[in-house]
C-alpha cells in the first residue's frame, strides 16, 4: 500500500477506496493478472457471481483454455454492446443524454453508493496508458477481484503498465467497475456513466462486457481530450500498402460499422483457380472475375482507433496518424470454419501467451477455436464473437506514425434496379473533393444490411466521424475539428468506396480490395482530371472513365452504375434523390451558429444543389 501511494497520485476519493478496501492487488505482469482470473493454477472454471439484494446473480462463466480464457455471459443481451448505454454525469457541454434527465436524480447519489460498494470489495488496480505506450495518457482501472477477466481484457486492449516501471503516475482517466448496479439500479441494462473534469475523465461501468467501457469508453476519453486540445481520434483502419514493385502508399479507411475497416487489412481472397471475384449478378447469376498475378503486401497500422495528433504531422501537408490501442477487439463472426481467416486463426489457436475470448465456446484445458461461436437462446450462433489480439502478435505491424496518402470512406450499398430503385448508386470508386469528404463524414451512413444494426436496408446515420456513438461532447465541435483537419491536410486525397452491391451486382468487399490494389500501383490518387468524369450525382464527386488493374479493364458497368441496362439514368436519378434527401435530413443538425465558416459555405453549397466544381472551389481537389 505504501508503494501505491508513493508512486501514484490518485484522486482523493479513489485513495479513500483503495486505503479502506480489504485488499488491493496491483498485478506485476499480465501473466500474474491472467492467473488472478482463476485464483490458482489448478482451477479450470469460475463463475462470476454478485449479491443483488440478497440473491446471487451469475453474470458470466470463465473457462481456462490451452490458449487463454473463454468468457461467456449468461444473458444474450450482455454479449454485445448496447448502443444506448452512455450517460453524462457532469455539467460540461454535451449532446448526449444526461444521467439526471434520464433517471430523475443526481448522479452524485449513485456515485457515492458505488464508491462505498467498491470500498468493501477485494480490488484489482491496473495502471495503463489510454492511447498507447508512446502517446497515451496515464489511466487506471479499478474493479472487483472476481472480475479479473475484465481487468485482463483491458490490459490486452490498452497499454498495460508494469508497476515496477511506474515513477510518478497521475491518472488522466479512471474506470470504476461495479457490476451489481446493473440489476439494482438499471433494470438489467448496460449503463456506462461518464463524468468529465478539466484534468480527469471518470468512467463508471455498471456491466462486465468490455465493449462500452474498456474499449469504446477509452475511445470516449481520447475524443474528449482531443475536443479540448483540438485534434481527432478517427474511427479508421489504416495500412501501409507495398506493391510488387516495392512502391508504397498509406491508405486510411473510415466508415460506420460494417463499412470495411477490417477488410482493408485483409489479403485479396481468391477463387480456387486463383482468380478474384469482382461481382455476381443477382438477377442473371453471371459472375465476373479478374486475374491478379501478384497482390500488394499489407502492413497494418490501425484497426479501429487512429490518433491523428498534430505533432505527428511533417511538412508534406498529409494527415498523420498512429494506433490508439495496444490490442484489437477482433470480431470473428466471419470465421465459421478452418481457413476463413488464416492470419487471425493462426494467432488465436497457436498463441504463445494467453488470450481472452468472448462469446466463443471453451472446454477446460482444450484449445479455444475461433469458429466455435457461443449459441444464443435463439438457437443461432452469437453474432458478436470476439478475441483480443495484441498488436505485437500481428505480422508486419507498423509501430511509428504514418502519413496518409489516400483517405477512403466505405458505405454499404443495397442492390439497385430501375424497378426497385434505392440509394445504391455508387460506382466501384469515386474521387471526391475535400468538401464532399467532410459531408460524408458528417452523415456517415450505416447503410444496407449492417451487421451491427437490426433491420434491413434502412438508411441511417452513425453520426459525425462515424465515431459519434462514443463521443461525450458536442456534435458541432467534432464537425469543426474534422473540417479543420481536412483543411490543414491538403496533401491527402479522398475517395468513396461501396461494398455489398454496385447496382445489380453483388460485390461484397471486392471494390475495396481492387481499389486498394489500383491506388497502390498508381501511388495514390495520382491522376489527371481528364481521366475523371463528374458523377451524375454531385455527392459522389468524380467517377473514373476507365480502370485497368494488372492489365485488365474493369467494365464501365462497375464504374458508373447508370450504364447498367437494369438501372439506367432514370433509375439512378431516383436513387440519387433518396441519397440527397437523406443528406438533407442529417445535415440539418449542423446548420448552427457555432459551425466553422467554411463549413457554412459547404452546407450552403449543398442546400442550393451545388455542382462538383462548386465544392472544389471551396476547398481545391488538388488534381490537374
According to the model, what pLDDT value does residue 453 have? Answer: 44
CATH superfamily of 2-29+81-229: Phosphoenolpyruvate Carboxykinase, domain 1 (3.40.449.10)
Mean pLDDT, range 541-566, rounded to an integer: 95
CA distance 558 to 504: 10
pLDDT digits (tens, 9 = 90+) for 272-283: 898 999 999 999
* CB neighbour class for 61 (10 Å; exposed up to 12, middle 13-18, buried from 19): middle
* Class of domain 278-295+407-618 (CATH, top level): alpha beta
Q: What are phi and psi of 397, to 5 degrees?
A: -60, 145
> pLDDT tens, 119-168?
999 999 999 999 998 889 999 999 999 999 999 999 999 999 998 888 88
**The pLDDT of residue 527:** 86
Which residues lie across from 100 on neighbouring strands? none
Query: Are 555 and 279 contacting, i.e. CB atoms less than 8 angstroms apart?
Result: no
Every domain of the chain and the residues it spans = 2-29+81-229, 278-295+407-618
Question: Using one digit for the tens of pLDDT, what is the confidence trace for 319-366?
Answer: 999 999 999 999 999 899 999 889 999 999 999 999 999 999 999 999
The CA dihedral of 315, 540, 254, 331, to the nearest 10 degrees, is -160
pLDDT of 5:
67
The full DSSP string for 1-43 is -HHHHHHB---HHHHHHHHHSSEEE--SSHHHHHHHHHSSTT-
Q: What is the mean pLDDT of residues 425-440?
A: 98
pLDDT at 1 over 70: no
Ranges assigned E (strand) in 167-319: 173-177, 192-196, 201-205, 232-242, 248-254, 276-281, 287-290, 297-302, 305-308
Which residues, 6+ apart, have CB-to-CB distance to 6 below 8 Å? Answer: none
Please, what is the average pLDDT of the chain?
A: 95
pLDDT at 448 over 80: no
Q: Which three cell numbers, joined as nine digits, stand for 541?
A: 464527386
Task: Quote the CA–CA distance of 484 and 501 in Å, as a whole number.
Answer: 33
Q: In terms of pTM, does the model score above 0.85?
A: yes
For residue 60, give the C-alpha cell: 458470466
Confidence at residue 349, expressed as pLDDT on a 0 to 100 scale: 97
Give 451's pLDDT tier (boundaries 50, 70, 90).
Answer: low
pLDDT at 254 over 90: yes
Band of the pLDDT at 462, cuts 50, 70, 90?
Answer: very high
Residues in the chain, total: 624
292: cell is: 491478379
Residue with cell 480490488: 123
Name 66's Cβ contacts closer than 8 Å, sequence gap at least 6: 365, 366, 367, 368
Query: Which pLDDT tens digit goes with each residue over 482-523?
Result: 999 999 999 999 999 999 999 999 999 999 999 999 999 998
Provide the 8-state DSSP code for 429.
-
pLDDT value of residue 611? 97
Residue 243 half-sphere exposure toward CB, CA atoms < 13 A:
18
Same fold? 2-29+81-229, 278-295+407-618: no
Cα–Cα distance for residue pair 479/441, rounded to 1 Å: 8
Q: How many CA atoms lie within 13 A of 430 on its CB side?
A: 29
Could you report the per-residue pLDDT of 53-87, keeping only the tens digit for each?
999 999 999 999 999 999 999 999 999 999 899 99
As a whole-number percent, the residues of the chain with pLDDT over 90 amount to: 88
Render pLDDT for 91-100 as a digit per residue (tens, 0 to 9): 999 999 999 9
| Other CB atoms within 10 Å distance of the CB of residue 484 | 16
* pLDDT tens figures, 258-310: 899 999 999 998 998 989 999 999 999 999 999 988 899 999 999 999 999 99
Which of the four pLDDT bands, split at 50, 70 and 90, describes residue 456?
very low
Q: What letter does residue 520 receive in the DSSP assignment? A: H
Looking at 329-428, list the stretches that DSSP marks H as alpha helix, in order from N- to C-terminal side. 342-349
pLDDT for the residue 498 = 97
Can you give the pLDDT at residue 245? 86
Amino acid at each position: 500500500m505504501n508503494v501505491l501511494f508513493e508512486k501514484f497520485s490518485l484522486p482523493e476519493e479513489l485513495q479513500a477506496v483503495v486505503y479502506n478496501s480489504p485488499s488491493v492487488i496491483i498485478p506485476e505482469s499480465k501473466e500474474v493478472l491472467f492467473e488472478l482470473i482463476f485464483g490458482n493454477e489448478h482451477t479450470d472454471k469460475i463463475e462470476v457471481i454478485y449479491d443483488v439484494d440478497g440473491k446471487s446473480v451469475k453474470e458470466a462463466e470463465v473457462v481456462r483454455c490451452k490458449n487463454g480464457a473463454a468468457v461467456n455471459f449468461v444473458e444474450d443481451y450482455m454479449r454485445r454492446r448496447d448502443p444506448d448505454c452512455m450517460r453524462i454525469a457532469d455539467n460540461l457541454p454535451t449532446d448526449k443524454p444526461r444521467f439526471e434527465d434520464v433517471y430523475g436524480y443526481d448522479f452524485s447519489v449513485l456515485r457515492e453508493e458505488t464508491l462505498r460498494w467498491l470500498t468493501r470489495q477485494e480490488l484489482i488496480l491496473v495502471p495503463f496508458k489510454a492511447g498507447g505506450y508512446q502517446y497515451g495518457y496515464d489511466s487506471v482501472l479499478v474493479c472487483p477481484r472476481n472480475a479479473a477477466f475484465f481487468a485482463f481484457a483491458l490490459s490486452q486492449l490498452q497499454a498495460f503498465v508494469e508497476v515496477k516501471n511506474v515513477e510518478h503516475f497521475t491518472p488522466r482517466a479512471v474506470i470504476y467497475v461495479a457490476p451489481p448496479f446493473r440489476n439494482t439500479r438499471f433494470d438489467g441494462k448496460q449503463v456506462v456513466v461518464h463524468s468529465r473534469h478539466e484534468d480527469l475523465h471518470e468512467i463508471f461501468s455498471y456491466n462486465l462486457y468490455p465493449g462500452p467501457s474498456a474499449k469504446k469508453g477509452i475511445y470516449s476519453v481520447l475524443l474528449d481530450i482531443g475536443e479540448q486540445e483540438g485534434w481527432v481520434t478517427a474511427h479508421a483502419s489504416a495500412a501501409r500498402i507495398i506493391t510488387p514493385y516495392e512502391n508504397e502508399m498509406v491508405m486510411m479507411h473510415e466508415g460506420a460499422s460494417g463499412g470495411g475497416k477490417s477488410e482493408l487489412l485483409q489479403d485479396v481472397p481468391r477463387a480456387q483457380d486463383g482468380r478474384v471475384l469482382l461481382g455476381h449478378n443477382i438477377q442473371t447469376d453471371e459472375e465476373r472475375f479478374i486475374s491478379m498475378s501478384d497482390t500488394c503486401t499489407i502492413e497494418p497500422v490501425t484497426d479501429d482507433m487512429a490518433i491523428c495528433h498534430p505533432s505527428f504531422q511533417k511538412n508534406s501537408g498529409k494527415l498523420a496518424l498512429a494506433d490508439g490501442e495496444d490490442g484489437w477487439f477482433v470480431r470473428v463472426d466471419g470465421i465459421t470454419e478452418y481457413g476463413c481467416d488464416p492470419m487471425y486463426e493462426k494467432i488465436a489457436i497457436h498463441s504463445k501467451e494467453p488470450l481472452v475470448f468472448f462469446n466463443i465456446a471453451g472446454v477446460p484445458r482444450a484449445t479455444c477455436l475461433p469458429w466455435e461461436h457461443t449459441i444464443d437462446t435463439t438457437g443461432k450462433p452469437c453474432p458478436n464473437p470476439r478475441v483480443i489480439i495484441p498488436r505485437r502478435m500481428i505480422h508486419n505491424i507498423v509501430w511509428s506514425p504514418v502519413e496518409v496518402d489516400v483517405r477512403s470512406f466505405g458505405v454499404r450499398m443495397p442492390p439497385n434496379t430501375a424497378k426497385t430503385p434505392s440509394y445504391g448508386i455508387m460506382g466501384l470508386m469515386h474521387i471526391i473533393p475535400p468538401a464532399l469528404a467532410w459531408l460524408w463524414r458528417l452523415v456517415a451512413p450505416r447503410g444496407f444490411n449492417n451487421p451491427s444494426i437490426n433491420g434491413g436496408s434502412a438508411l441511417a446515420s452513425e453520426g459525425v466521424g462515424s465515431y459519434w456513438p462514443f463521443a461525450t461532447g458536442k456534435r458541432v465541435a467534432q464537425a469543426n475539428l474534422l473540417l479543420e483537419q481536412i483543411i490543414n491536410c491538403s496533401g491527402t486525397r479522398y475517395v468513396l468506396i461501396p461494398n455489398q452491391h454496385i447496382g445489380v451486382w453483388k460485390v461484397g468487399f471486392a471494390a475495396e480490395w481492387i481499389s486498394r490494389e489500383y491506388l497502390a500501383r498508381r501511388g495514390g490518387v495520382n491522376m489527371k482530371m481528364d481521366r475523371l468524369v463528374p458523377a451524375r450525382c454531385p455527392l459522389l464527386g468524380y467517377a473514373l472513365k476507365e480502370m485497368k488493374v494488372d492489365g485488365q479493364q474493369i467494365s464501365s458497368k462497375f464504374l458508373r452504375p447508370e450504364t447498367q441496362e437494369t438501372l439506367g439514368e432514370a433509375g439512378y436519378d431516383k436513387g440519387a434523390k433518396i441519397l440527397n434527401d437523406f443528406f438533407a435530413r442529417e445535415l440539418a443538425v449542423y446548420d448552427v451558429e457555432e459551425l466553422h465558416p467554411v463549413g457554412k459555405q459547404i452546407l450552403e453549397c449543398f442546400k442550393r444543389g451545388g455542382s462538383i466544381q462548386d465544392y472544389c472551389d471551396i476547398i481545391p481537389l488538388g488534381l490537374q
